[in-house]
A and B are shown apart, each in its own frame.
Chain A
Amino acid sequence: MIAALQPTTTWYLVLAAALFGIGMVGVMVRRNPLVMFMCVELMLNAVNLSFVALAVKLGDIGGQTIVFFVLVVAAAEVVVGLGIIVAILRRRPGATADDLAELRG
């Protein structure tokens, strides 16, 4: 009976939603810039998951193409983001996101 249950697209999408939510909460709660970045990666993965699920459901290979691009762009983003974090933390070691408040109005 249980074995007869097939994971449907809806399951994948719900899972992706949960992953996205967890990543979002992580961005808001964590102070370490690197960990915040990792939570952003979580969100991107959630999106990739939902794209692939929908690609299967709709029979359109375009969903997977999008994921391909998201992957590439995420990689580029990580490179640049980590470069910035390195540049900042080199000058102010041990800074957290709360310490980097120069743009205060």
Chain B
Amino acid sequence: MVDVVWLIPALPLAGFLFILLFGRKAGDPGAGYIATAACGAAFAVTVAVFVDMLSKNPEQRTSVVTLYRWVPVGSLQVDLAFLVDPLSITMCLFVTGIGALIHLYAVGYMHGDPRFSKFFLYLNLFILSMLMLVLGENLLVTFLGWEGVGTCSYLLIAFWHQRNSAATAGKKAFVTNRVGDWGFMMAMFLAFQAAGTLSYTGLNGVAEAGGLAGSTATAITLLLFVGACGKSAQLPLYLWLPDAMEGPTPVSALIHAATMVTAGVFLMTRMNPLVHEAYTWAPTLIAIVGVVTALFAATIAVAQNDIKKVLAYSTVSQLGYMFLAVGSGAYVAAIFHMVTHAFFKALLFLGSGSVIHGMHHEQDMRRMGALRKLMPITAFTFIIGWLAIAGVPPFAGFWSKDDILMYAFAKSPVLWVLGIITAILTAYYMTRQVIMVFYGKARWEDAHADNGAHGDFEPHESPKIMLIPLVVLAGLSIVGGVLLLPFRKSFELLDIWLEPVVHPGQTDIIGTWAYDNKYLLMGITVVCALVGIAGAYMVYAKHKAKAFEPRLLEQGWYYDQTVSAFMGGPGRQAFDGVAWFDANVVDGAVNGTGHVVRGVGDELRKTQTGNVRNYAAAIVVGVVALLTWFVIFRGIL
């Protein structure tokens, strides 16, 4: 059964090729159904492989399916192979599952768009790349998928490329990702040089056996983390994600909520034995960056007015939580949060897309309100997503967030405090969003009256094809917590499932204060969530307190502007300097060699006078020299 794992990426590839050739003919909605079918079939195959894996013993669940030798160059032997183990199958399940749901949603959302089939072409290509990333047996196949999803995110963010802002956002995403890719590539080079192999089993094996120097492992870890920062939008390189909201909402849901941004977390988890071998300040650094990003993004989300921008910053914040988990050695918690986040964030994005669709592409929350009665199903599912992300039990988000905070406390109480503050802010801004969109006064009527727009404008519920995924995701957000319930060891299903993959790097916190008092910590988390909700309720529903939305936060602490100023100013000068160096010194050396050769040739050319007598003279000089050599030096005399 494991042998058919190649079908999992092959089906979206087939969908891609089919739509490439026949997409225009299939049209709207034919191309969409084909893409959805491809993704759904991949999900079915994944489920089959998963079920088969469940029936095996835990030690036998890891296998490698090699397709062929991809790079046979001297000592670099890289196969195109898939590593089928609990981690990759878990990732595949939710990539294909949520991917299929989003494909279905997009059939309804993109209806009427002139480039309908091209959208699904890119979506299938994205799913293919993500599956290659996740199933890859070595860093190179993962990198192939990594680059693929980067390219697809560019193509999809800039899908409505006639809009300047969309085209710019696409470029920004690609370029920022590229900076991260540099880190990935350097890590690959270093890993190959240190261990002679790029495969995960090889590298992790060498690391576990102690074959890597601590400095090497640290360097590789940090370089991979640079790559992860780019892809998963952590602090220095997060600025592409809010702008990426220019893309259609299904794109935001798929790429920026559920799948692509999680690639960084997946990579760190995959390399956990290597991270374990690094100096301890490296994971601490990862945890600090994660929690600071989480807090930073949460503060910005508090002041955003675009419905999608709030969710974008929320994504950055939740990704920060995942890296906090990775840095604290809680890989299972990170994956758990990744899964639950996929559920509720996709739900929230799709829900916001439904709102936007129903509001005829209005995205400013200040012009929404009181939509609950007009879009009941959207509202209901959105509220479930809200409860999940705010961390209200028994919804999925509570369990995963709490698990992370527990490990964070075990690492350092300071990290836990920052995490708790972020949790409060998360609850606060999500409640703010729910109230502004679905409750309160129907501000869209005023706006409409001011605009004097077209005819009778009434926000309406979205078509059924868009609502089905919402309902499914809502259900998953409710029950998702089942994967890891902390009450009893046997309830920690995800922990048991992923144990063979993460056990080298997973921190054992049994016996720490955090573990012993986990119910206390759980209670504090619940209280914080309720505090956040209550606070937002006071400000936005009851208007008892003034709304705190300073310009600083709305502009994202001016981080974006700072980066632009730097890149345009001193950055540009540095780049120009490097370019000058390349053109003059490097090229100059190469061209200079040519000039020198030509100069010497020009001088030597003068000996070719064409005159026989000069040649005769030269010959005779040679003869005399030879004679001199033989007669005088070789000693006839």
Among candidates B606, B607, B613, B623, residue contacting A31 with C-beta atoms closer than 8 Å = B613
User: Closest residue to A104 on the B side, CB-wise?
Assistant: B610
User: Closest residue to B605 on the A side, CB-wise?
Assistant: A105
Min CB distance B615 to A, Å, is 9
**Once bound together, how far apart are the Cα atoms of A104 and B617, in whole Å?**
16
Contact between chains at B611 and A97 (CB < 8 Å): yes
**Once bound together, how far apart are the Cα atoms of A28 and B613, in whole Å?**
6
* Cβ of A49 under 8 Å from chain B: no
CB contacts (< 8 Å) of A31 on chain B: these are 613
* Cβ of B209 under 8 Å from chain A: no
Min CB distance B305 to A, Å, is 78
CB contacts (< 8 Å) of A97 on chain B: these are 611-613
* Cβ of A24 under 8 Å from chain B: yes
CB contacts (< 8 Å) of B617 on chain A: these are 28
Contact between chains at A103 and B608 (CB < 8 Å): yes
User: Closest residue to A97 on the B side, CB-wise?
Assistant: B612
User: Closest residue to A39 on the B side, CB-wise?
Assistant: B616
**Once bound together, how far apart are the Cα atoms of A36 and B610, in whole Å?**
16
Contact with B along A37-53 (1 / 0, CB 8 A): 00000000000000000
Contact with B along A84-105 (1 / 0, CB 8 A): 0000000000000110111111
User: Closest residue to B609 on the A side, CB-wise?
Assistant: A104
* Cβ of B620 under 8 Å from chain A: yes
Min CB distance A16 to B, Å, is 14
**Once bound together, how far apart are the Cα atoms of A101 and B610, in whole Å?**
4
**Once bound together, how far apart are the Cα atoms of A24 and B613, in whole Å?**
11
Among candidates A28, A103, A105, residue contacting B620 with C-beta atoms closer than 8 Å = A28
Among candidates B608, B612, B613, B623, residue contacting A105 with C-beta atoms closer than 8 Å = B608
Contact between chains at A102 and B620 (CB < 8 Å): no
Min CB distance B65 to A, Å, is 66
Contact with A along B571-611 (1 / 0, CB 8 A): 00000000000000000000000000000000001111111
Residue among A27, A101, A104, A105 facing the most chain B CB atoms (10 A cut-off): A105
**Once bound together, how far apart are the Cα atoms of A103 and B620, in whole Å?**
20
Contact between chains at B613 and A103 (CB < 8 Å): no
CB contacts (< 8 Å) of A28 on chain B: these are 613, 616-617, 620
CB contacts (< 8 Å) of A101 on chain B: these are 609-611
For chain B, residues 126 to 144, give those with C-beta under 8 angstroms from any C-beta of chain A.
none
Contact between chains at A24 and B611 (CB < 8 Å): no
Min CB distance A19 to B, Å, is 15
Contact between chains at A98 and B608 (CB < 8 Å): no
Q: Chain A contact residues (Cβ within 8 angstroms of B): what range?
A: 10 to 19
For chain A, residues 53 to 103, give those with C-beta under 8 angstroms from any C-beta of chain B.
97-98, 100-103
CB contacts (< 8 Å) of B606 on chain A: these are 105
Contact between chains at A27 and B616 (CB < 8 Å): yes
Contact between chains at A98 and B605 (CB < 8 Å): no
Contact between chains at B608 and A24 (CB < 8 Å): no
**Once bound together, how far apart are the Cα atoms of A82 and B114, in whole Å?**
86
CB contacts (< 8 Å) of A36 on chain B: these are 612
**Once bound together, how far apart are the Cα atoms of A100 and B612, in whole Å?**
8
User: Closest residue to A99 on the B side, CB-wise?
Assistant: B611
**Once bound together, how far apart are the Cα atoms of A103 and B623, in whole Å?**
23
Min CB distance A27 to B, Å, is 5
**Once bound together, how far apart are the Cα atoms of A100 and B614, in whole Å?**
12
CB contacts (< 8 Å) of B612 on chain A: these are 36, 97, 100
CB contacts (< 8 Å) of B608 on chain A: these are 103-105
**Once bound together, how far apart are the Cα atoms of A31 and B612, in whole Å?**
9
CB contacts (< 8 Å) of A98 on chain B: these are 611, 613
**Once bound together, how far apart are the Cα atoms of A105 and B610, in whole Å?**
7
CB contacts (< 8 Å) of A27 on chain B: these are 613, 616, 620
CB contacts (< 8 Å) of B616 on chain A: these are 27-28
Min CB distance B623 to A, Å, is 8
**Once bound together, how far apart are the Cα atoms of A27 and B613, in whole Å?**
7
**Once bound together, how far apart are the Cα atoms of A100 and B608, in whole Å?**
13
CB contacts (< 8 Å) of B623 on chain A: these are 24
User: Closest residue to B615 on the A side, CB-wise?
Assistant: A103
**Once bound together, how far apart are the Cα atoms of A100 and B613, in whole Å?**
11
CB contacts (< 8 Å) of B610 on chain A: these are 100-105
CB contacts (< 8 Å) of B611 on chain A: these are 97-98, 101, 104
CB contacts (< 8 Å) of B609 on chain A: these are 101, 104-105
Contact between chains at B605 and A24 (CB < 8 Å): no
CB contacts (< 8 Å) of B607 on chain A: these are 105
**Once bound together, how far apart are the Cα atoms of A100 and B617, in whole Å?**
16
CB contacts (< 8 Å) of A103 on chain B: these are 608, 610
Min CB distance A38 to B, Å, is 14
**Once bound together, how far apart are the Cα atoms of A101 and B617, in whole Å?**
15
**Once bound together, how far apart are the Cα atoms of A28 and B619, in whole Å?**
10
User: Closest residue to A102 on the B side, CB-wise?
Assistant: B610
Task: Provide a sorted-by-A list of 12 A–B residue pairs whose CB atoms are within 8 angstroms.
Answer: A24-B620, A27-B616, A28-B620, A36-B612, A97-B612, A97-B613, A98-B613, A100-B610, A101-B611, A104-B608, A104-B610, A104-B611
Q: Which residues of A come within 8 Å of B, CB atoms? A: 24, 27-28, 31, 36, 97-98, 100-105
Given A28-B616, A28-B620, A105-B606, output 9 extra A-B contacts at Cβ < 8 Å. Answer: A24-B620, A28-B613, A97-B612, A97-B613, A98-B611, A101-B609, A103-B608, A104-B611, A105-B608
The list of the 8 closest CB pairs from A to B, nearest first, reads A105-B608, A104-B610, A101-B610, A105-B605, A103-B610, A97-B612, A27-B616, A101-B611
Q: Which residues of B come within 8 Å of A, CB atoms? A: 605-613, 616-617, 620, 623
